[in-house]
Copies of this chain bind each other. A is one copy, B any other.
Amino acid sequence: MQRIKIVLQYDGSSFSGWQKQKKSRSIQEEIEKALFKLFGKETLVTGSSRTDAGVHALGQVCHFDCDEKFPVKNLCKAINAFLPDDIRVIKAYKVKVSFNARFDVIKKTYIYVLSNQNFNPIFRKYYTTIDYPLNESKMKDCMQLFLGKHNFKGFCSSSAQVKNFEREIFEAKLTKKFKCFVFEFTGNGFLQHMIRILVGTVVDVGRGKLTLEQVKECLRSYDRSLSGKTMPPNGLYLKKIFY
């Protein structure tokens, strides 16, 4: 038996999310189906992050176990041969059997892509469009407020099933690429919908609907009604997992 770590890219548009669900298409299930075809036996995978429906991945990570006889150097190609074309394995490594893709995570990077130009029907699933003017400098100031350790209860879905809402954000950057705003967050973990609400809050600051003082108050009060709306999933990408 050997433990394998794989790095994945996927287009989240046609999935109900990472996690297996009874009646809808999930990334986890597609990978387990591909591994079943390849290895001839049920092979469970453990992912680093449960991405939501419509959320994309540039570098999702998961692990599974398989027989030593399958050479690692051919695994990428072999698994891809059984995957649908909206998921691709880009790397495969042999790791220690103690490695756990979910629990060994040190930090994660997500990006959120937002266009401030006209709605584009061709790329509608790959970034979100907002048609009111945004103040870039104010948005950059807002991003800085999230740095460090905070209780992010005011910035996550009310249905988040966790006891500890404290997370640490190590980096929060706003850049422009191909005329889009790219919000990048690196942290030790993120609560349900947290990035989409952080971005919704930054956007509200950028359009003048919220002040930096109000955002600080939300960080202090843990009050979800004070933060911005949850942005749509289509602009969100799981970029990288660090172990």
Q: Which residues of B contact A126 (CB under 8 A)?
A: 122-123
**Once the chains are docked, how many angstroms separate the CA of A124 from the CA of B10?**
10
Give min CB distance, A95 to chain B, whole Å: 22
> Is A11 a contact partner of B88 (Cβ separation < 8 A)?
no
Contact of A88 among B85, B87, B121 (CB under 8 A): B121
A193 CB-CB contact with B under 8 Å = no
A9 CB-CB contact with B under 8 Å = yes
User: How many A residues face the partner with a CB closer than 8 A?
Assistant: 19
Give min CB distance, A33 to chain B, whole Å: 16
Q: Which residues of B contact A120 (CB under 8 A)?
A: 9, 88
Contact of A121 among B87, B118, B122, B178 (CB under 8 A): B87
**Residue of B at shortest CB range from A119?**
B88
A97 CB-CB contact with B under 8 Å = no
A104 CB-CB contact with B under 8 Å = no
**Once the chains are docked, how many angstroms separate the CA of A102 from the CA of B122?**
23
**Once the chains are docked, how many angstroms separate the CA of A87 from the CA of B121?**
6
Q: Which residues of B contact A121 (CB under 8 A)?
A: 9-11, 85-88
> Is B122 a contact partner of A11 (Cβ separation < 8 A)?
yes
A108 CB-CB contact with B under 8 Å = no
Q: Which residues of B contact A90 (CB under 8 A)?
A: 118
Residues facing B in A143-186 (CB within 8 A) are: 178
Given A90-B118, A118-B90, A124-B85 contact (CB < 8 Å): yes
A56 CB-CB contact with B under 8 Å = yes
**Residue of B at shortest CB range from A84?**
B121
**Once the chains are docked, how many angstroms separate the CA of A1 from the CA of B124?**
35
**Once the chains are docked, how many angstroms separate the CA of A77 from the CA of B11?**
30
**Once the chains are docked, how many angstroms separate the CA of A120 from the CA of B56?**
12
**Once the chains are docked, how many angstroms separate the CA of A119 from the CA of B87?**
10
10 A-B residue pairings within 8 Å (CB atoms): A9-B120, A9-B121, A9-B122, A10-B121, A11-B124, A56-B122, A85-B121, A88-B119, A88-B120, A90-B118
Residues of A within 8 A of B (CB): 9-11, 56, 58, 85-88, 90, 118-124, 126, 178
Extra 16 A-B pairs, beta carbons < 8 Å, given A11-B121, A87-B121: A9-B120, A9-B121, A9-B122, A10-B122, A11-B122, A11-B124, A85-B119, A85-B121, A85-B124, A86-B121, A86-B124, A88-B120, A90-B118, A122-B126, A123-B126, A178-B178
